[in-house]
Structure 1
């Protein structure tokens, strides 16, 4: 592996000049800068980010705290967050918590000790008392204190759209199914929007929930089907729960969409699991990701952020299940 001295020797400059080019500080002549950049490319030199942070007393690492990298919505979000950070000269430190609160607390403590520049966090656990504002933080879908900005999709409007689309497809006895969370999460507004529109339209509806996370999706759906056999329109809180519902409903002899219409929420139906292609409320994943990064970088630079919440519009994607 090549060192910064190797780059300096190849470019015919001092180590200090290479350091100034890498860190984009101080004055370097354009011709000299180009020589250094060419030497870096030729040697495929990768700067030591930890040493760089220590020397500059500034970190260019941003942590992304995710419940699971296996969920396609989270992995798509991570992709766009990393890309936007890279465009702005920052690197991503991915922390995959598996949805475990103790692991999230471990990561938060580790991140504070290593002086990351900031954190973008997605958590559905009750860890609010451990979240502090001494490190710039932007959350996704989760409300903490007013000092922590939240980026989210328009969950309430998504619930309203889902109800209207189910009715438009012919459903007249509808249900919302999902996990009930006690934390202040924007995802709760999916149910609220659904109920609001059902009552406004005079459509019979039921809400079927269990504490989040649902311990056994299959058993949960079987109990729902047994209790509410008359339901012919289902809005699931996530695409994955919608897909699981379709699978179990078919085993029970129901046809989708002939007997029951189904809509999910997220917009990840490109995944091979979704056959038939799911009708869904699509979250603007890329827009949410880039907005979260842009807001975090403002906080890192000490700029004020005008709004506590940034709510981004959703859209309905027609699939084969309505």
Structure 2
């Protein structure tokens, strides 16, 4: 494997000059820079990122802690986060926890030791005592007590909007369907908005929830379908919950939307290959991702942010399930 000394030898310059070209720091004559870049290409030389970070006392690596990369919402979020990081020459380290608190704690400890530039965290577990500001960190959807900035969508308004759209579509007996995490997160405001709007409009409703994570989908949806046969409008806490309900309801001959109107939350189905197209509360995923990284850059630069929670507006996207 070629070294920086090999590059310097071929280019006929000092090692320090090669370092300045690689790090784009200090003045280097154009002709000299071209010689160094040509030598790098000839040798197929790749700088040692770990050594560079240690020597420069800074990192260009940002970690993204996710509950699951399989979830389409998290995948879309990760795509835009990586794209925004790439614009400034930062790299993304993906930490897929599977929603397991012990794995999240392992990643946080590893990230502190490896001195990443910053962390974007999405967690719904009780790991409060292990989260600190030693490394610049931003959270998505989750509040911590230690002044850690949170970026989220307007979940409360999303719940209100879903209730109104179900009523507008003709539903009379409504249900909120979801799961309850062990700690508070912004996602719980979807239920609150739904309930408050139902009370305001005098609409009959039920709340159906189980502890998160749901480990037995068949039991979860089977119990709902058995207990709430009179429900004709459902607001699901995520698009995935909505899609799973639609699939299981179809097995019992329940027609969507003729018998039951359904609205999800996230907006992950945006192509007609999906059928039926889900009516949903669409989060501004790209804007959330890019804002998160721009705020993280400020924290990395030592700038104090002027607010703890940044809420972005949501919209209702009409599909075929209402």
Shorter-chain TM-score category? over 0.9
**Which residue of structure 2 aligns with residue 137 of structure 1?**
137
Cα pair 2:142 2:186 within 8 Å, conserved: yes
| Aligned residue in 1 for 2:229 | 229
Measured in 1, the distance between the counterparts of 2:73 and 2:37 equals 37
Secondary structure class of the residue paired with 2:102: helix
Q: Deviations over 1:167-190 (max 9, x none)?
A: 111111111000012312000001
**TM-score normalised by structure 1 residue count:** 0.94
Query: Aligned in 2, Cα 1:31/1:161: closer, same or farther, shift over 3 Å?
Result: farther
Could you say what secondary structure the match of 1:321 adopts? coil
For residues 261 and 144 of structure 1, what CA distance do their matches in structure 2 show? Answer: 36
Indicate the SS of the match to 1:200.
helix
Residue in 1 that maps onto 2:198: 198
Distance 1:107 1:271, change over 3 A: farther
Q: Deviations for 1:129-148, whole angstroms, at most 9, x for unmatched residues?
A: 11011111100000012421
CA deviations over 1:239-268 (Å, ceiling 9, x no partner): 111000001111111100100010111111
Say which is worse superposed, 259-268 or 22-31, in terms of deviation.
22-31
Call closer, same or farther: CA 1:35–1:166 in 2, change over 3 Å: farther
| C-alpha deviation, 1:309, in angstroms | 0.5
Tell me the equivalent position of 1:68: 68
Q: Which runs of 5+ in 1 are unaligned?
A: none
Match of 1:256 in 2: 256
Report the counterpart of residue 80 of structure 2 in structure 1: 80
Describe how 1:106-125 pairs up with structure 2 within 5 A.
Answer: 106-125=106-125
Residue 89 of structure 1: aligned partner: 89
Write out per-residue CA displacement over residues 162-216 of structure 1, whole angstroms, 9 at most, x where no aligned residue: 1111111111111100001231200000101111111111111111111111221
SS of residue paired to 1:52: helix
Question: Counterpart in 1 of 2:169?
Answer: 169
Cα deviation for residue 26 of structure 1 reads 1.8
Structure 1 residue 228: deviation in Å?
Answer: 1.1
Structure 1 residue 44 displacement after superposition: 4.5
- 8 Å Cα contact 2:132/2:146 also seen in 1: no
Change (3 A) 1:43 1:72: farther
* TM-score normalised to structure 2 length: 0.94
**Structure 2 partner of 1:242:** 242
- The Cα shift of 1:36 comes to 3.5
Aligned length: 322
**How do 1:26-41 residues align onto structure 2 when only pairs under 5 Å count?**
26-37=26-37, 39-41=39-41
Contact 1:243 1:274 in 2 (8 A): no
> 2:178, 2:209 within 8 Å by CA — same for their partners in 1?
yes
Aligned to 1:311: 311
SS at match of 2:320: coil
2:293 aligned with 1:293: yes
Instruction: Say which SS state the counterpart of residue 186 (structure 2) adopts.
Output: coil
Corresponding residue of 2:213: 213
Q: Tell me, yes or no, if structure 1 residue 182 matches structure 2 residue 182.
A: yes
2:321 is matched with: 321
Alpha-carbon deviation of 1:218? Answer: 2.2
> Secondary structure at 1:187's aligned position in 2?
helix
Rounded to whole Å, the distance in 2 between the matches of 1:43 and 1:114 is 28
Q: CA deviation at 1:12?
A: 4.3
- Judging changes above 3 Å, is the alpha-carbon distance between structure 1 residues 192 and 35 closer, same or farther for their aligned structure 2 residues? farther
In 2, the alpha carbon distance for the partners of 1:280 and 1:35 equals 56
Q: CA deviation at 1:11?
A: 4.2
Secondary structure of 1:178 counterpart: strand
Checking the alignment, whether the CA contact within 8 Å between 1:267 and 1:281 is kept in structure 2 is yes
Q: 1:80 touches 1:289 (CA, 8 Å); kept in 2?
A: yes
C-alpha displacement of 1:35: 4.4
